[in-house]
Structure 1
Amino acid sequence: MSRSRAAATATRHFSRMLPGVLLLALCAGCTGGAGAQDAGGASGAGAGGAGVGDALFPRLGNGGYDVRGYRLALDYTPGSRHLEGTARITARADRALSSFHLDLAGLRVRKATVNGRPAKAARSGTELVLTPAAALPKGRTFTATVVYDGKPKTLTGEDTGKEGWIRTYDGAVALGEPTGSMTWFPGNHHPSDKAAYDIAVTVPQGYTAVSNGELKGQETRGRRTTFRWHSGEPMASYLATVAIGRFGIRTTTTGKGLPAYLAVDPTEAAGAENIAKQVDDVITWESRIFGPYPFSSTGAVVDHLPGLGYALETQTKPFFDAAPDQTLVVHELAHQWFGDSVTPRVWKDMWLNEGFATYAEWLWEEDHDGRTAQQIFDDFYDGTDDESEGIWDFPPADPPTVASVSDPPVYGRGAMVLHQLRRAVGDTAFFAVLRTWLKDHRHGNADTKQFIELCERKSGKDLTRLFDVWLYGEGKPKKH
């Protein structure tokens, strides 16, 4: 996600507060399924946990298993806003399980099976608890299938921020940061559990359904068309997307040889070629700075919907609610490295996404005859940059609430941390750190402690004070 460059005219980004009803559901205790035992090797099996213990979202995600892949079959009619879905989830039990949880907000569960046998399904808030006919032994790979339907929700915060399944002027788009993906499919919706995805979407003929990864097939039967998308590289669920509309489609190949798929609202059709060029130029530049692009395809979705006001780094195809400027493309594509490929293990480490993507904007400006990164740093420190308001409200590595994970300290001050690091260790070591970080944790999860350890190892310096002051310190530090 990216923040507004000018608060008075913000059409790009804003801080988002988690809706109160959903927050209560995520933070309250949840009931589990019955504790059965399986004489075939799961003696002592227990219920999987509701939540992974994230400090900001303690009930988000689920314990006891690791998802390997999602196979989603969706059927959506824009006129009625009705969604029918089948989610087939392949996972491995980390411990013997008599029951396990999935995150799901709204929608009606019609049927559930585990390994092809009927499973008991119980609901409590945003928790869906499945109790299989026989307990699952530790280490066993299993398949859970959930058939569901209904009108998926749009989650709206106190600041009018929207996520989840959102109506557009001619269809819908699914945007998941931080919790919205649970409104359209059941799953383990915490960024620490990444998986491969196959998403098939059936829509009325004349509509296009776009998702992550590569289009593997398109078939029309009667008056409905199915689009089949595949994402082989692991993906956090908040980065999964579906966009449905009457798009203009442009398929190209970047200078790096990547297939690029762009879906553009018809009112922006005249700018589609320019958007394709922006994506190509930025991918080429960021690959030079950060290392090889981490996915097998790229692209973008540009769609119009009322009152959204932000862009989002949905994996392989960033979403824009209007034709983006070059800086915004730089930010969202930088996330393909920082956030999408290397994903924070917990939400408090969001600065590893947003601070890095913001600093990519600074590097781009420095490398394209604008202000130097030092000049931008000085403007932020002095409060003269349009995006500097509020950057001292809290330490960037310690957002205090769920409502603050996308606030200015995470973006602007997060970028300032990186610039101070660059000054302390020099360009050679700094860019070596970035490339090593991305290589070592490619398609995985990582945290701030690991980043600091890498910085000290690569530079040979004790950087304790730098990070204590700039990353974890309260208030505005003295400028050195």
Structure 2
Amino acid sequence: MLHTPHTPAARTPAGRRRARGPRRCRAAALLASAVSVSLVAASAPAVPLGVGDRLFPHLGNPGYDVASYDLSFTYSGKNSEPLRAVTTIDARTTARLDRINLDFAHGEVGAVEVDGEPATFTSAGEDLVITPGKPLPAGERTRITVRHTSDPASPKGREGGWVRTADGLALANQADAAHLVFPCNDHPSDKALFTIRVTAPDGHTAVANGLAAGVERTSGSATWTYRTRHPMATELAQVSIGRSTVLRRTGPHGLPLRDVVPIRHRAAAEPWAARTPAHISWMESKIGRYPLETYGLLVADAPLGFALETQTLSLFGTGLFTEPAYQEWYVESIMVHELAHQWFGDSVSPRTWSDLWLNEGHATWYEALYAEEKAGKSLRERMKDAYAASDSWRAVGGPPAAPKVPDTGGKTGIFRQNVYEGAALVLYALRQEIGRPAFERLERAWVTRHRDGTASTADFVRLASEIAGRDLDGFLRAWLYGGKTPPMPGHPDWKPTAADRVTTAESAGE
């Protein structure tokens, strides 16, 4: 995600930011090892669980691996009213389960079924705790169906989930807010396929992640269905409901593109959306084929102040495309930032939230590289400025690969400059250390090897060492985990400054 500046004159903003199979199961197992997976007996008090993430310890749940979500939402036409919803989860148990914990914290649950049979349920913290009629053995498929409401009103002290727009709703779940919208295993280590159905009154258009799978019209309403072809983390789910039009075009290699724009802003947004095929071609020239089934822009009629890389359908506020003071190169670099996330963060997802720098650092890197190649904005000078501020960023937010724990309810607390410009600076240092050809091979190998999966900082260090032909653990450890910024290879004259260059706007982003 990328937070846009509050004034058009601001400097270029820093970026905000396998399918089911052995790799994803191992990732879930590694995280689950940090907590007790010996699930408590059904007679014991219900308690919230988690997969042991250092930054969000109660996100996710041990004991199962989600294969797919089927989400159905019914929208009344008023974005102040809760939506009626049904969430169906197909999962495989990885431990014997007397209870099933789902992350869900902002809606009313009417009924729950497990494998077609009614189940009892209660809440504990931000978990929905389900007790099936009989324990579920390890290694078995199970289906959980929850009938619930999904409330667009933001809970007190929380950020994210549904975003109210002038004409409807959109989603902004990063990092820990998907479970404010639907019951789920809300951690990026457990990716799954999604089917999303949305029913809305006539005059509205609904769009979601993935490809359209049909629309059924009845008297006074329509139901749209979308399906993903690649696994997706819950934080990347997107549902747009509004008085919108869908613009369709074809990208490189026949890639279907669709952009969702408010009808009243079509004239302003369409020329920008038309640049997406060229942006994709540029990214493909750097790191290879686009990794997902479709792409497009979702332009929400709201003053968002950020952009977000929801999978296959990146979210932007109308202001980015309607504010005349924004320069052309600036708007395009933000568009490229979110596009780059489709490789870095969406296709290759962070195994833990401490690996966020791999998303945001890379998106910021390609944002900056695009600005250099297309608008003459020097990457070297941008990195020199980042180096000067890096010690300040580390002091405020922690090293790039070890962000400080966010305040309760403050999901944006981990999205600071240390994981944007600070992480891009790490990539610049690595390119300086191993040379441009090896660095470019590393980038292509990274998105190919971990496509549709999750990956960690340790995975990146190992692959960098493999590509470079030497051990880079010590070099990258200092850059990723050090409290102070190491010397920059090739630039012994670069010095950090003691001046505090961390602004309020830099302390949050996605």
- Common fold by TM > 0.5: yes
Aligned to 2:403: 399
Q: Distance in 2 between matches of 1:341 and 1:99?
A: 31
Aligned to 1:351: 357
Q: 2:391, 2:485 within 8 Å by CA — same for their partners in 1?
A: no
1:286 corresponds to 2:292:
no
Q: 1:105, 1:126 within 8 Å by CA — same for their partners in 2?
A: yes
Letter in 1 for 2:292: F
1:321 paired residue among 317, 321, 333: 317
Q: 1:178, 1:238 within 8 Å by CA — same for their partners in 2?
A: yes
CA RMSD of aligned residues (A): 2.8
1:180 corresponds to 2:181:
no
Over residues 237-278 of structure 1, what are the superposed CA-to-partner deviations in whole Å (9 max), with x where a residue is unaligned?
Answer: 000011111012201111331111111122321134322222
Letter in 2 for 1:320: F
Letter in 1 for 2:315: F
Greater relative contact order (CA < 8 Å, ≥ 6 in sequence): 2
> Does the residue aligned with 1:368 lie in a helix, a strand or coil?
helix
Q: 1:95, 1:138 within 8 Å by CA — same for their partners in 2?
A: yes
Aligned to 2:347: 341
In structure 2, the CA distance between the partners of 1:152 and 1:349, relative to structure 1 (3 Å rule), is same
Q: 2:117, 2:133 within 8 Å by CA — same for their partners in 1?
A: yes
1:301 paired residue among 278, 298, 303: 298
1:474 corresponds to 2:480:
no
Matches of residues 49-448 of structure 1 in structure 2 within 5 Å?
50-79=49-78, 81-149=81-149, 151-154=151-154, 162-306=159-303, 308-322=304-318, 323-324=320-321, 325-382=331-388, 390=393, 393=396, 394-402=398-406, 404-448=413-457
- Please state how far the C-alpha of 1:208 moved relative to its aligned partner: 0.7
- Please state how far the C-alpha of 1:13 moved relative to its aligned partner: 7.4
1:453 corresponds to 2:462:
yes
Letter in 2 for 1:310: F
- Please state how far the C-alpha of 1:401 moved relative to its aligned partner: 1.3
- Please state how far the C-alpha of 1:391 moved relative to its aligned partner: 5.9
Q: 1:13, 1:309 within 8 Å by CA — same for their partners in 2?
A: no
Q: 1:106, 1:153 within 8 Å by CA — same for their partners in 2?
A: no
> Does the residue aligned with 1:314 lie in a helix, a strand or coil?
coil
- Please state how far the C-alpha of 1:219 moved relative to its aligned partner: 1.6
In structure 2, the CA distance between the partners of 1:84 and 1:388, relative to structure 1 (3 Å rule), is farther
- Please state how far the C-alpha of 1:366 moved relative to its aligned partner: 2.8
Q: Distance in 1 between matches of 2:233 and 2:46?
A: 24
Q: 1:11, 1:309 within 8 Å by CA — same for their partners in 2?
A: no
Q: Distance in 2 between matches of 1:420 and 1:342?
A: 22
In structure 2, the CA distance between the partners of 1:63 and 1:131, relative to structure 1 (3 Å rule), is same
Q: 1:15, 1:407 within 8 Å by CA — same for their partners in 2?
A: no
In structure 2, the CA distance between the partners of 1:449 and 1:194, relative to structure 1 (3 Å rule), is same
Q: 2:99, 2:129 within 8 Å by CA — same for their partners in 1?
A: yes
Which sections of structure 1, spanning at least 5 residues, go unmatched? 17-28, 38-45
Q: 2:354, 2:403 within 8 Å by CA — same for their partners in 1?
A: yes
Letter in 2 for 1:254: G
- Please state how far the C-alpha of 1:211 moved relative to its aligned partner: 0.6
- Please state how far the C-alpha of 1:11 moved relative to its aligned partner: 12
Q: Distance in 1 between matches of 2:156 and 2:277?
A: 34
- Please state how far the C-alpha of 1:49 moved relative to its aligned partner: 7.3
- Please state how far the C-alpha of 1:7 moved relative to its aligned partner: 7.2
Q: 2:212, 2:225 within 8 Å by CA — same for their partners in 1?
A: yes
Q: Distance in 1 between matches of 2:11 and 2:99?
A: 44
Letter in 2 for 1:252: R
Aligned pair count? Answer: 453
Q: Distance in 2 between matches of 1:389 and 1:212?
A: 38
> Does the residue aligned with 1:280 lie in a helix, a strand or coil?
helix
In structure 2, the CA distance between the partners of 1:222 and 1:66, relative to structure 1 (3 Å rule), is same
Letter in 2 for 1:120: T
Q: 1:54, 1:346 within 8 Å by CA — same for their partners in 2?
A: yes
Q: Distance in 1 between matches of 2:199 and 2:9?
A: 37
Q: 1:3, 1:411 within 8 Å by CA — same for their partners in 2?
A: no
Over residues 364-397 of structure 1, what are the superposed CA-to-partner deviations in whole Å (9 max), with x where a residue is unaligned?
Answer: 12322513422321132245xxx99846632111
Q: 2:15, 2:421 within 8 Å by CA — same for their partners in 1?
A: no
> Does the residue aligned with 1:461 lie in a helix, a strand or coil?
coil
Larger mean Cα displacement after TM superposition, 71-80 or 443-452: 71-80
In structure 2, the CA distance between the partners of 1:475 and 1:9, relative to structure 1 (3 Å rule), is farther
Over residues 336-376 of structure 1, what are the superposed CA-to-partner deviations in whole Å (9 max), with x where a residue is unaligned?
Answer: 00000000010011000000000011221232251342232
What is the TM-score of this pair, normalised by structure 2?
A: 0.83
Q: Distance in 2 between matches of 1:166 and 1:173?
A: 5
Q: 2:391, 2:483 within 8 Å by CA — same for their partners in 1?
A: no
Q: Distance in 2 between matches of 1:12 and 1:413?
A: 14
